[in-house]
Amino acid sequence: MILVRFWGVFWIDASTSTTIERGYLDAARLCGAVENYELAKAFFDSMGHPYLFILDNADDIELDLNPYLPTGPGATTLITGRNDQIADYYATAGAKTLEELEMDDAIGLLHKASSIPVASLTGKKGDAEAVVRLLAQHALAVIQAGAYIKQRRCTFKEYHMKFLRQLEYLLRFRNRQASSTYGDVYATFEVSAQFLEKSKSVDQSYANALELLGVLAHLYFIGVPGALFTRAWEY
């Protein structure tokens, strides 16, 4: 096994050409380098230190990534995306398809997110398994479910029933064409938002959290400043 120590690891949003160029520029600025894309690309192409570029969200098969791949002697590139065809064009060192979590891993994640020790639920593994199966063993959905269970102190079985009721509501008002692999994730957020809405009159922190969700909905999905959450918590 070869252990590689990278001088730097840089995350680049590869959803569009514009976000890639902006990502290059942001990465170069972190290194105290140049102020335009062309020079930023040249900076990384000439770098001798081993570094990793992660081109994330490369879902658009029509977007040619070749002009954006770093060619420097120290460059290693990892591309992530939801389109399997990406591997046909860019997988020079192999590709890996990541789907749902293994059942035991998903159950363990649910227990961790809900702060419910596995040992305390002897004989009730089936309830946890039913929840993670309902969420298609999707990591983000499982974490959201665990957070809700921890906040409401409800059981896995109670969450399972509540989720089914909420999912039925969501599917009834959503166009079939708008269905998504991540619909389960959307439903877990909706369940949490519904709880905040009902509880905001009891505790101001719930109202603040609900308002913060509304603010986040208008922000781009990367580059959200961590200080936003700190200030929301403190003030």
**Position 121 confidence tier, pLDDT thresholds 50, 70, 90:** low
Separation of CA 178 from chain center: 20
98 within 8 A of 81, measured Cβ to Cβ? no
26 within 8 A of 11, measured Cβ to Cβ? no
* Backbone phi and psi for residue 128, each to the nearest 5 degrees, phi listed first: -65, -40
Q: What is the pLDDT of residues 34-58, one digit of tens each?
A: 778 888 999 889 888 899 999 988 8
- Integer Cα distance of 59 and 52 in angstroms: 20
Say what angle helices 103-114 and 125-134 make with each other, to 10 degrees: 100
**What are the DSSP E strand ranges found in the chain?**
8-13, 51-56, 75-79
Q: What is the pLDDT of residues 53-101, one digit of tens each?
A: 999 888 887 888 888 988 888 888 888 887 777 776 666 777 777 777 8
> Which residues lie below 8 Å from residue 222, measured CB to CB, with a gap of 6+?
11, 13
Tokens 């596995």 belong to 118
pTM: 0.53
Structure tokens at 87: 């591997």
Structure tokens at 71: 């060619």
